[in-house]
Amino acid sequence: MLQDKKVVLGVSGGIAAYKACALTSKLVQAGADVTVIMTESAQQFVTPLTFQALSRNPVYTDTFDEKIPEQIAHIDVADWADLIVLAPATANLLGKIANGIADDMLTTTLLASEAPVYVAPAMNVHMYAHPAVQMNLKQLDQYGYRFIEPGEGYLACGYVGKGRLEEPETIVGVLEEQENLEQSLAGKRVLITAGPTKEKIDPVRFFTNHSTGKMGYALAKQAVSLGAYVTLISGPVNLDTPKGVQRINVESADEMYHQVLEHYVNQDIVIKTAAVADYRPKTSYSTKMKKEPGDLKIEMERTKDILQALGERKTSQFLVGFAAETTNPLEYAKDKLEKKNLDAIVVNNISEEGAGFGGDTNIVTYMNGKGDQINYPLQSKEEVAKHILQHVANELKDE
């Protein structure tokens, strides 16, 4: 899947720079056209001539070394690239690009390019765990950068732990897999609901739940990366809108119901991850309720079942539901799949460690109307989102 791809390989100054030589060779063998950009520090470990011989292309080391007078080098390379790989990405490089610093050929090219960027960090285990480095990684994640996580093992500094640059074969495998998926949802319109709802009691009190919206936002981010046009209808959460996503904010179950139905007709795929309240106070007060002697009773009424309404109105949409359960999750999921006319459902047992609300990981089972059932062990919500969308894309392809 890398045949004829134009790949910029950014090499920064760490001992793992020697692995970038093997990575260059592997990328060329996979059919990619590779241009290498080296930082000044990287040249202390490997010479530009090595990368020139392996890539069979000129190597860029200096922003002001304009090889062709008619072109500005960092702009030309930025526009040329189909994708950019940073390997190794040192703590220093991560800090620069996370904060928009452009003081050499590599960082100026990164700021000027709109190509997807893959980051393969490599550094000492304590450096990798440092709050500043982790903050920079989160910032780059918000920019839409993609990560090839470092491996664990013996490091050049003598420590054993996370921080070792992933092996070149693995990096190439990740790039090939991603390029294979890259446009699997190209042109598809995807509607995703996320987060909790708030059901008002009075101006200062409301009923809600523990949903943070992380799963829905991970799906929205991944769907955009696969070429989809994404509309995200979100309850109140403390999350940034993924790049390229149209976000519509709602608070109550009733607001979400009307927004979802308004946008439903023109969608190709609908994924409902939102934890919508099943009940709301029958009476909502416009002024604050005052404390009174004795107990308080609040009469509740059912909210509209959004997923049921979507199943009833479904024409050509591929409809995916979510089920967060604590007992007999698979039985409840199968029942929900059939009763609500879904094409697929993703179920998790929120009582399992790592699968509850608020975390960055999940443990899920994907079930569809054909009887397929795929279990996914503990992994990041980003990875879960990739798997779900891959299943959906494959099912649409088979129709």
Detail the residues annotated as belonging to a binding site for CTP: 278, 288, 322, 336, 340
HSE at residue 67, side-chain half, CA atoms within 13 A, is: 12
Q: Phi and psi dihedrals of 251, rounded to 5?
A: -120, -55
Phi-psi region of 264 (alpha: psi -120 to 50; beta: other; left: phi over 0): alpha
CB within 8 Å of 360: residues ≥ 6 apart: 214, 380, 381
Extended beta strands in 122-198, E state: 146-147, 151-154, 160-164, 189-194
CB within 8 Å of 171: residues ≥ 6 apart: 23, 26, 85, 87, 118, 120, 148
Distance CA 188, CA 167 (A): 34
Distance CA 322, CA 344 (A): 9
| Catalytic option among 101, 102, 125, 157 | 157
Distance CA 143, CA 222 (A): 13
For 85-102, the DSSP string reads EEEEE-HHHHHHHHTT--
Extended beta strands in the chain, E state: 6-11, 33-38, 83-89, 117-121, 146-147, 151-154, 160-164, 189-194, 199-202, 205-207, 229-234, 245-249, 269-272, 279-281, 300-302, 318-325, 344-349, 361-368, 373-380
Residues composing the chain: 399
Instruction: Examine the residue annotation and report whether 21 is marked as an active-site residue of this protein.
Output: no
Task: Look up residue 171 and give its two tokens.
Answer: 């990096």
Residues 77 and 61: beta-carbon distance below 8 Å: no
CA gyration radius, the chain: 25
Active site residues: 157
